[in-house]
């Protein structure tokens, strides 16, 4: 089910009441999987705010660090209110409706929501496969944490009412993604001389892959292209 594929992850939330409010929103939309990175103690405020979502909050998986979390999912979606253009691919997002594409071609997807004051750090966004932003008033674009979660889960929940036809695509697994990126990185290393060119090429490709939501078959095709290109370069 769609609700099993997408997990809500709160990265170092400051207030336990916000954790409870997010659990309540998840219950509203039928999502069950909540994960917390280095959360505060969950006390009376969290229990009060969670209402009928208390079971979701109490069943939340807890990670001690972002690195531990990152290794547990096939695909990471970072959220941020800050935008940028082509100059900074870390800040080039899709809008919430773009997440709908993920439901038919992904493994486990973690939607990461950052700290209430500073959000996700650049180093954390670098580890994400894509970024999503909610189009809000530019004079005050930062939404309350639980409100942000509600907007994204609303967009995802619309998928339940869509009729699907044709053969479903096999989701891109974490192993397939790692191999595809490894072959691409080897091709980049063999094709470019300067370090900044290599970093830009690798980062750009990861951003493209994240927005495209490719399936397993497409990844295998791309791996074949990269391998053949490497062989031809070695033979020249």
- CA 121, CA 115: separation in Å to the nearest integer? 9
Q: Helix, strand or coil for residue 201?
A: helix
Q: What does the block give as tokens for 89?
A: 């691919």
pLDDT tens by residue, 111-134 = 999 999 999 998 998 888 888 888
In sequence order, which ranges of the chain are alpha helices (DSSP H)? 2-5, 16-29, 44-50, 54-58, 66-70, 122-126, 145-157, 174-191, 195-212, 216-235
pLDDT at 163 over 60: no
Q: What angle do CA 222, 186, 109 make, to 5 degrees?
A: 55
List, for residues 32-86, the tens digit of each pLDDT value: 999 999 999 999 999 999 999 999 999 999 999 999 999 899 889 999 876 554 4
| Domain ranges within the chain, ordered by starting residue | 2-161, 174-235
Assign domain 2-161 to its CATH architecture.
Answer: 3-Layer(aba) Sandwich (3.40)
DSSP at 98? G
Q: Which of 10, 17, 57, 60 is nearest to 38 (CA)?
A: 10
| Contact (Cβ atoms closer than 8 angstroms) between residue 69 and residue 35 | yes
> Quick check: 167 and 94 in contact, CB under 8 A?
no
């Amino acid at each position: 089910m769609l609700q099993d594929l997408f997990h809500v992850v709160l990265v170092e939330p400051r207030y336990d009441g916000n954790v409870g409010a997010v659990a309540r929103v998840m219950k509203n939309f039928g999502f069950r999987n909540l994960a917390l990175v280095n959360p505060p103690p969950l006390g009376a405020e969290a229990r009060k705010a969670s209402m009928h979502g208390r079971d979701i909050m109490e069943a939340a998986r807890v990670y001690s660090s972002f690195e531990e979390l990152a290794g547990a999912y096939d695909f990471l979606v970072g959220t941020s209110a800050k935008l940028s253009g082509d100059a900074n691919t870390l800040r080039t997002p899709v809008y919430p409706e773009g997440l709908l594409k993920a439901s038919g071609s992904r493994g486990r997807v973690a939607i990461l929501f950052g700290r209430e004051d500073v959000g996700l750090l650049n180093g954390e966004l670098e580890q994400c496969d894509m970024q999503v932003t909610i189009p809000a008033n530019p004079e005050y674009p930062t939404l309350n944490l639980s409100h942000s979660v509600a907007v994204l889960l609303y967009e995802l929940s619309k998928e339940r009412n869509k009729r699907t036809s044709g053969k479903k695509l096999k989701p891109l697994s974490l192993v397939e993604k790692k191999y595809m990126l490894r072959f691409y990185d080897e091709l980049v290393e063999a094709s470019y001389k300067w370090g900044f060119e290599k970093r830009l090429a690798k980062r750009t490709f990861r951003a493209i892959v994240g927005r495209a939501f490719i399936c397993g078959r497409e990844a295998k095709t791309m791996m074949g292209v990269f391998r053949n290109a490497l062989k031809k370069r070695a033979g020249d």
